[in-house]
Amino acid sequence: MKTIGLPGIAQPVSTIVQGSLGLIWGDDADAFAVLDAAMDAGITAYDTAHVYDFDGRGVDRLLGRWCATHGGRAQLVVMAKGCHPDMEGRPRVTPEALAADVGDTLDRSGLDRLDLWSFHRDDLSVPVGELVDAANVEIDGGRISAWGVSNWTTARISEAVDHAAAHGCAGPVANSAHYSLATQLEDPWDDVVSLTGPDGHEDREWHRASGMPVVAWSSLAGGFLSANISREDLEEPDNDHLAEVARCYLDDTNWARRERAGALAAARGASLSQLAVAWVLHDEMTTFAITGGASTSEVRENAGAVAIELTEEERRTILEGS
């Protein structure tokens, strides 16, 4: 498994990040088997968020139970997020919400620290310096090792970097945004940021020039880039999930990319999903890909993407055609 170092985080961070939201509705034995498979595959990074908690069931709690019973905490990189809007959509991007959400995540999980904590959203009305300073309070207090952002604009990230440099404190070490072979046609949620498509060109160039690593969410476009979903499934969806995938990703351009990726995958003896994840990982940006493998076979399949080599010409051909 390929790993990349991030400032402030002692453990090597696997380029495949295990998303575990889909595991919380089953029993612990099944979920632990999936998490064990991820660890066995060399995946060191695990994604969670304060908002991923429903009636006492949540990813923080699941990861905490797994760590307590299966060990391995020393090798894990827990990537947590907070300051998501409340149920009425009101922003919570404040120093107070940051401190509260970090505390909640530590309490739920039983962990003594979070390796990477990120703002799940932004609020442009809050001076960025207040947020940078608040994140550094958590670092200085030993509750987090490093901090990052999710769904922030590059202008706002740059402002945060500049504030940290000017004040001699820790700046953001990673940005989590949507990035995949499939361009987002509509936002799946409010106030999210995508780096795909023509609109994301300048932001991608900023990341490549600045060296700010990207943690790509929905690298498989909600399953659009999986052979388990057919075009018929999306054109005549029989459940809310397929309808949402179709709304956000189904058009002829994205489908043509999917078919080109599938053809190359078949030629390589790989799966469509593996090829799609490899496409993300081979960007010039220092890129991580969150994958939500919900079974041991899916986890092993996702982990296999790191072994696929793609040239820049192959990436461009998949994206644009010959």
Cα angle vertex 60, ends 57, 62, to 5°?
A: 60
Q: What pLDDT was estimated at residue 322? A: 76
| pLDDT one-digit tens code per residue, 68-77 | 988 777 889 9
Q: What pLDDT was estimated at residue 192? A: 94
Please give the helix or strand (H or E) that residue 10 lies within, else none: none
| CA 184 centroid distance within chain | 16
Structural domain boundaries, residue 33: 3-222+272-320
First to last CA, the chain: 31
In a domain, 231, yes or no: no
Q: Output the pTM of the full model.
A: 0.94
In a domain, 265, yes or no: no
Q: What pLDDT was estimated at residue 55? A: 84
In a domain, 250, yes or no: no
Q: What pLDDT was estimated at residue 293? A: 87
- For residue 200, the domain's CATH number is 3.20.20.100
Nearest to 120, CA basis, from 93, 99, 160: 93
State percent of the chain over pLDDT 90: 89
In a domain, 103, yes or no: yes
DSSP assigned state of 22? G
Nearest to 81, CA basis, from 98, 65, 64, 68: 98
Compute the residue count for the chain.
322
Q: What pLDDT was estimated at residue 84? A: 96
In a domain, 237, yes or no: no
Q: What pLDDT was estimated at residue 143? A: 98
Q: What pLDDT was estimated at residue 112? A: 93
Show pLDDT as tens, one digit a residue, over the chain (322 residues). Answer: 999 999 999 999 999 999 999 899 889 999 999 999 999 999 999 999 999 999 889 999 999 999 998 877 788 999 999 999 988 888 999 999 999 999 999 999 999 999 999 999 999 999 999 999 999 999 999 999 999 999 999 999 999 999 999 999 999 999 999 999 999 999 999 889 999 999 999 999 999 999 999 999 999 999 999 999 999 999 999 999 999 999 999 999 999 999 999 999 999 999 999 999 999 999 988 789 999 888 999 999 999 999 999 999 999 999 998 7
Number of domains observed in the structure of the chain: 1
Q: What pLDDT was estimated at residue 253? A: 96
> 297 phi and psi, to 5 degrees?
-70, -40
